[in-house]
Amino acid sequence: MDEIFSLLKENPVNNRLVIMPVTRLLIHQPFSIDRFHFFPPGELDLRALRPVPNKTLENEIARGNNQLDEQTLREICSSATGFDVEVLESNVLIVFLYQMNWHDFLSVHDHNDDIELIKLLSSKAEKALDIIRFNFCRLDLSDTLPGLAGSFLGSEEYLGAMLYTPEHHESYLIAGAAVECSIVIKGLGLEIDSPPTTQMPTPELGEVSLIASHGLSLLTDAMTASNETTKFIRLMTLLEFLASPDEYQIWKKLKGQIACHSANTKAEYLNISKRLKYFSSLVENGIQRGLRTLIVHHGKFLADIHPSQDDRKALFLEIQDYVSCVLQDMINNSTLTWQEYISRREFLKEKLGVS
């Protein structure tokens, strides 16, 4: 935490400290993923940051205040979610710096503006959670997925954040209905015994780093899909993106851009390419067998095509292996330009004897 406050003091006029809870995640020691810092429940002395309590509807009624101004309504909307310092103290926390104009924040009187800010802050913290999901979660086991950045026990549609300004040495709590559509409720979530080792791809590293970052977000989208059929379609979108992020190409031309990362021999490369073809469109004896074509154009569900749950689990783990190989290689080579990475893929194919 000392490191964070040191950075905070470097630009106290613009830097703000953002503290967000995250549910369905249990950690036993602090760790960092790039500029995002994770703390176990109760690790930080939040009271020392002087959080300003939000007004509540009950208190305003008790005071006989029947003329609620916009700022009071703004605070009441946040307090109605149940988000407060006690909630933060009982949850795992994600802490990071964010540059914002504090005067503009204090001048806001519309709760919807708070919701938009929470969405923005959550989306930034989600980049760190993408790394956690990449390292520890499986496509066939949604039970272990952590919650969204800003979520807390029982929050449902609500997300919350505490913002600290060093200029005034005080904090403000905002919360609202920032969840767009759905949350993960299956299982108990994720327990981490040791921090993730994968480097977080960031914009300043290079072009491939940006591609990897978006790929990780697409992987999270697939992991959190509401059903297996949607999950598979999102994974196909992810594979297409990883193969050709800057333009659309037909799947026939893209299979090799994925297979070259997973194969160790020419035979493996050809077998993986055949599997990737089956994922999209494969006609055998005049009959369409390809999964995506059957789902999108024939109205099938994944369970119609693969009735066995074990088969579907194996399918998702297989796809996760292909995705992980590409993403890890991109992260390892994140400083390359996309054209340099295309050359790297040609090199990988040459080693396999398939160029």
Kind of pairing between the strands at 25-27 and 190-192: parallel
Distance, in Å, from the CA atom of 16 to the CA atom of 8, rounded to the nearest integer, reads 7
Distance, in Å, from the CA atom of 201 to the CA atom of 317, rounded to the nearest integer, reads 23
Q: Are 128 and 34 in contact (CB under 8 A)?
A: yes
Alpha helices of 11-153 — where are they, by DSSP H? 57-62, 70-79, 85-89, 102-107, 111-136
Position 68 confidence tier, pLDDT thresholds 50, 70, 90:
confident
- Roughly what angle, to the nearest 10 degrees, separates helices 251-262 and 309-332? 80
Q: Are 93 and 42 in contact (CB under 8 A)?
A: no
Reference 295, options 229, 224, 340, 204; nearest CA is 229
DSSP 29: S
Distance, in Å, from the CA atom of 178 to the CA atom of 287, rounded to the nearest integer, reads 46
Distance, in Å, from the CA atom of 22 to the CA atom of 17, rounded to the nearest integer, reads 16
30-34, 178-182, 293-297, 310-314: which range is least confident on average? Answer: 178-182
Say how many Å lie between the first and final Cα of the chain, rounded. Answer: 50
Averaged confidence pLDDT in the chain: 94
Q: What was the pLDDT predicted at 290?
A: 96
Q: What percent of the chain has pLDDT over 70?
A: 99
Distance, in Å, from the CA atom of 144 to the CA atom of 125, rounded to the nearest integer, reads 19
Q: What was the pLDDT predicted at 1?
A: 66
Average pLDDT on 291-319 reads: 97
Reference 334, options 196, 198, 210; nearest CA is 210
Residue showing tokens 């200029």:
167
Most distant pair of Cα atoms in the chain: their distance: 81
pLDDT in tens, 145-163: 999 999 999 999 999 999 9
Residue 225 φ then ψ, to 5° = -60, 150
pLDDT in tens, 247-278: 988 888 899 999 999 999 999 999 999 999 99
Q: How many CB atoms lie within 10 A of CB 157?
A: 14
Q: How far is CA 283 from CA 116, 229, 274, 279, in A?
A: 47, 20, 12, 12
Q: How far is CA 5 from CA 10, 17, 350, in A?
A: 9, 8, 50
Average pLDDT on 74-96 reads: 96
- Long-range CB contacts (within 8 A, 24+) of 132-136: 132/25, 132/33, 132/190, 132/192, 132/196, 133/216, 133/219, 133/220, 133/223, 134/196, 134/198, 134/216, 134/219, 134/324, 134/327, 135/196, 135/197, 135/198, 136/190, 136/192, 136/196
Residue 194 φ then ψ, to 5° = -140, 150
Residue 165 φ then ψ, to 5° = -115, 125
The pLDDT of residue 4 is above 80: no
The pLDDT of residue 355 is above 80: no
Q: Are 64 and 72 in contact (CB under 8 A)?
A: no
User: pTM for this structure?
Assistant: 0.94
Q: What sign for the dihedral angle of Cα 175, 214, 93, 164?
A: negative
pLDDT in tens, 6-49: 777 777 677 899 999 999 999 999 999 999 999 999 999 999 99
pLDDT in tens, 90-128: 999 999 999 998 888 988 778 999 999 999 999 999 999
